[in-house]
Amino acid sequence: MPEIAIRRRFTDSSDINCAVLIALCFLVTSTGWLSWEYHLLNQITAGATDVCTMVIGYLLQALGIAVYEMILHRRPDLSGILLPASLVLHMALMVPAVLSPAAGLTILSGLMMNLVCGMIAGHYLRALTQNAASDRKATVFGVSYAAAILASWLLSLVGGGKIYYSSMVLLICLVLTIAAIMAERTIAGQNTDAGEENDARLDQRNPVKMAFLLQAGLLVFLFSIVNSGGFAFPAADLGQIVNVEFSRLVYAAGLLIAGFVTDRNRKYGAICALTALIIPFIIFSLRGEPIPSVLFWVLSYFTFGFYSVYRVILFSDIAAERNLMYLSGAGLLAGRAGDALGEGLCLLLADHAAIQVGLTAALFAASVALFFKLYQVLYIPEAVHQQSEKERFAQFAAVHDLSLREQDMLHLILDKKTNSEIADHLCISENTVKFHVRNLLQKTGCKNRKELLTIFETYRG
């Protein structure tokens, strides 16, 4: 998909407004998530915390994206209040998630908070698809997330690094929530494309096949499993061993690089994401060596930046091309499901390195095979396809010894022109058209036009 055919383009201010909205939403949700994780570590074991946050939490985020799209599909009139309501609900759930002395309430409220996080993500990804210019979309996303990560790190420096462990984080998130709601109001008037009201209907001029969508979703899913399978960001490392806010700065670097590269050429961004799949195997090879845990965090976070951009932009482009806005968050949905499964496998097979490496390698092979299958559809330049079609037509004409006039007839028949339309196009009589069509059918051994079309479509030279 090197050139993205989007129906509208926006000004630089629209890109900036969209970036601000995404950054604020991601900052408030990630801040709440980190505070919840730190609070959980004081109440339950590190292993149980990993399961709650990295497995169940991620699955609920994926579910939240689906819930958001289902609500908006059934009730498009709620589009103006769904994000503010989700942000307020997130704030309400965050209070017990980071303050409750009871582990059960902390877990329950935190998990529900993850569900709402998914709904918030669904909204800002739709905003990205609708408002960001096609050639700046990946950059807008990468810069937004990177800015939020940088702000998260700066917050971690407040109060001697204890801000995420204190109730002060609630006040900070309240301010961020209000700012996000105001940012949403700023860009709300930009989403006026009437086509989005019917996003459940495929654009007949540019249809998308369900098999293609399933393959794209499966690719993102597999990529995310392989990436997470190498390292599960264990909660046991948090605190004295690893400063997660600082290590995530490498994630920001990966996001920025991936964003700029992807906007330069979608193909390059996809190849970078595929190439980054080697990182989990590097981590596998380094295990058992006297290497600080922070190196594994850095490697994994850097890789994660490429997948974060790739999976979001892949489906954002598809949604924009076909005016199917409900697909805007499908990449993150599939990715979060893959993250959860990858983290789960990593935790489950922590003591079975051989099985873990073998399974990850098998999934890697499947990812590569599927990637190159979709690569032919998404990233091969249109000119190459056109040249291939010209060569196939020339070979077909040569094999059946078609005259130039018969080739003209074949071109127009392939365009579904009637005899009368062909006559008008070539400025000849309809009887002359019938004569040439009859000769064309005889030379190709066809009984009628339908059979001719079938033979040509299946011809491979």
- Comparing 319 with 299, the larger pLDDT belongs to 319
Helices 244-264, 266-275: inter-axial angle, 10-degree rounding: 140
pLDDT at 460: 65
pLDDT at 461: 61
CA 1 to each of CA 40, 265, 333, 335, 336: distance values in angstroms, whole numbers, following the listed order = 43, 9, 21, 20, 23
For residue 85, the SS3 value is: helix
Convert 8-39 to b/e letters by CB count within 10 Å (16 or more is b): eebeeebbebbbbbbbbbbbbbbbbbbbbbbb
Give the phi and the psi of residue 97 in degrees, each rounded to 5.
-65, -30
DSSP 379: T
What is the architecture, at CATH level 2, of domain 383-458? Orthogonal Bundle (1.10)
Give the rounded distance of the alpha carbon of 187 from its chain centre. 22
Given a cut of 70, is residue 196 above it in pLDDT? Answer: no
Given a cut of 60, is residue 207 above it in pLDDT? Answer: no
Given a cut of 50, is residue 194 above it in pLDDT? Answer: no
Contact yes or no for 249/305 (Cβ under 8 A)? no
52-56, 82-86, 296-300, 339-343: the lowest-pLDDT one:
296-300
For residue 349, the SS3 value is: coil
Which are the contacts of 208, defined by CB distance < 8 A and separation ≥ 6? 202, 318, 321, 322, 324
pLDDT at 381: 57
- Which pLDDT tens digit goes with each residue over 92-138? 999 999 999 999 999 999 999 999 999 999 999 999 998 888 889 99
pLDDT at 321: 81
What is the architecture, at CATH level 2, of domain 12-191+206-380? Up-down Bundle (1.20)
Q: Domain spans of the chain?
A: 12-191+206-380, 383-458
Q: What is the mean pLDDT of residues 367-376?
A: 89
Q: What is the mean pLDDT of residues 280-309?
A: 82
Given a cut of 50, is residue 7 above it in pLDDT? Answer: no
Please, what is the Cα angle at 32 between 259 and 156, to 5 degrees?
75
Cα separation, 87 vs 210, whole angstroms:
33
Cα separation, 383 vs 402, whole angstroms:
25
Given a cut of 90, is residue 397 above it in pLDDT? Answer: no
Give the phi and the psi of residue 242 in degrees, each rounded to 5.
-130, 135
- Which pLDDT tens digit goes with each residue over 12-41? 678 899 999 999 999 999 999 999 999 999
Q: What is the mean pLDDT of residues 408-436?
A: 88
- Which pLDDT tens digit goes with each residue over 257-290? 999 999 999 999 999 999 988 888 888 888 777 7
- Residue 399 CB neighbours (<10 A): 12
Q: Which amino acid is at 69?
A: E
Given a cut of 50, is residue 192 above it in pLDDT? Answer: no
pLDDT at 14: 81
- Comparing 160 with 218, the larger pLDDT belongs to 218
Cα separation, 208 vs 330, whole angstroms:
14
Cα separation, 136 vs 142, whole angstroms:
10
- Confidence band for 10, pLDDT divided at 50, 70 and 90: very low
Given a cut of 50, is residue 448 above it in pLDDT? Answer: yes
pLDDT at 90: 97
Give the rounded distance of the alpha carbon of 273 from its chain centre. 12
Give the phi and the psi of residue 349 in degrees, each rounded to 5.
-105, 20
pLDDT at 257: 94
Contact yes or no for 216/315 (Cβ under 8 A)? yes
Contact yes or no for 228/335 (Cβ under 8 A)? no
- Which pLDDT tens digit goes with each residue over 326-355? 999 999 999 999 999 999 998 888 888 889
Which are the contacts of 209, defined by CB distance < 8 A and separation ≥ 6? none
Cα separation, 200 vs 323, whole angstroms:
9
In 230-344, which ranges are E strands? Answer: none
Question: What's the first-to-final CA gap in the chain, in angstroms?
Answer: 27
